[in-house]
Amino acid sequence: MTHKLMILPGDGIGPEVMAEVRKVLSWLENDAGIAFEIEDGLIGGASIDAHNDPLTDDTLDQCRKADAILLGAVGGPKWADVDYNIRPEAGLLKLRKELDLFANLRPAIVFDALVDASSLKPEIVKGLDILIVRELTGGVYFGEPRGIEDLGNGQRRGFNTQTYTTSEIQRVGRVAFDLARKRDNKVTSCEKANVMESGKLWREEITALHKAEFSDVELEHMYADNCAMQLLRNPSQFDVIVTDNLFGDILSDEAAMLTGSLGMLPSASLGNPGSPGLYEPVHGSAPDIAGQGKANPLATILSLAMALRYSLNEGQTANQLEQAVQGVLNNGTRTPDIMAPGCSEVSTSAMGDALIRALEKTL
Ligand code: IPM
Ligand code: MG
């Protein structure tokens, strides 16, 4: 069986970290006997430069036909002044929306070897393993009406619409409850039901879903601002956090920073069964360090592990890859972002090579 992969390196450090993923893919083909059919495409600024469009219909069609899509990162100062509708981020948002990738899984894991990289005290973050399930195709990101209107008298009004329907809340809620059952069996649902009707509905629908289908899972509701505070105070109280698109965007950055190593965190965006998943590192395009061999490729490599697990039915290989990442960290191999005293600092490509050596040891 051949797995069809679509690779979208994107902008900034995207192509560099993706080059290391390609090394891993060749290793998996040659040494682990897993067959891939790989296609490449442009997204974000790279696609704007080539086609004046951050995601062309042809690339979107290729993505639809894949089993999994691996993405590097989009955006950068070079495209700060392009028309708002064709900015690099619009390509990513279109991909999420067109493929109906409504559930965004963002794990925040503190690796033992990196516990000192966190800005929080080691005793607060040691062993941390939480999963944010962010709704990804609804809410204020896509709600209509939206726009900027002229009110006259030199006044303008910018507006967006926060909207959620029962089924949008239920489907992402199901993903969160299902995943919690395979973990520590607890879901924290976050909204602002004290201020927003969409939050009130969110809370009511999650409560009803829990009662009907998941009463074996522990459920807790929390206002999103309190969640932001609790993540810093005592992050280990959380197992799975389910929340809307905007709160999820913010809370997942906060959770990522708890680990002290944005360069280590993968993500998966999943849609309905049978449609391809999208896998990307949580870090952005980091234009300030692009092209210098400083980027950490491990988040993108761990995103490949998530693809193997969630889209390609190769869970064992995913475990093997994650084990190799642990091995590399335990050896003291570090890119600059996770460098620590007594460790050896390596380039992006040397990190990829070290990972391949660690993979060899897992055979
Ligand atoms: C993310 C990013 C995106 C978002 C941007 C690049 C559009 O911040 O994936 O979290 O806001 O969703
Ligand atoms: Mg974000």
Query: What is the per-residue pLDDT across 146-200, written as a single tens digit (0 to 9) for each?
Result: 999 999 999 999 999 999 999 999 999 999 999 999 999 999 999 999 999 999 9
Residues of the chain with pLDDT > 90: what percent? 94
95 CB near ligand 1 (under 6 Å): no
Torsion of CA 203, 242, 271, 11, to 10 degrees: 130
Q: Which of 84, 137, 249 to mutate to test the pocket of ligand 1 (most atoms within 8 A of CB)?
A: 249
Instruction: Give the confidence band of 217 by pLDDT, cuts at 50, 70, 90.
Output: very high
Q: Which CATH number characterizes residue 124's domain?
A: 3.40.718.10
Separation of first and last alpha carbons in the chain: 21
Determine what percent of the chain falls in helix, strand and coil, rounding each to the nearest 5: 50, 20, 30
Domain match, 197 and 295 both: no
State the distance from the centre of ligand 2 to the C-alpha of 212, rounded, in angstroms: 32
Domain match, 68 and 201 both: no
Within 8 A by CB and 6+ apart from 209, the residues are 169, 170, 173, 174, 177
122: containing domain: 103-270
**Better pLDDT: 317 or 261:** 317
Q: Which residues are catalytic?
A: 141, 192, 225, 249, 253
Q: Which of 245, 270, 295 is the last residue of a domain?
A: 270
pTM as predicted: 0.95
Atom 4 of ligand 1, residue of closest alpha carbon: 249
Domain match, 114 and 94 both: no
Query: What is the per-residue pLDDT across 105-159, written as a single tens digit (0 to 9) for each?
Result: 999 999 999 998 888 999 999 999 999 999 999 999 999 999 999 999 999 999 9
Domain match, 287 and 244 both: no
As for how many domains the chain has, the answer is 2
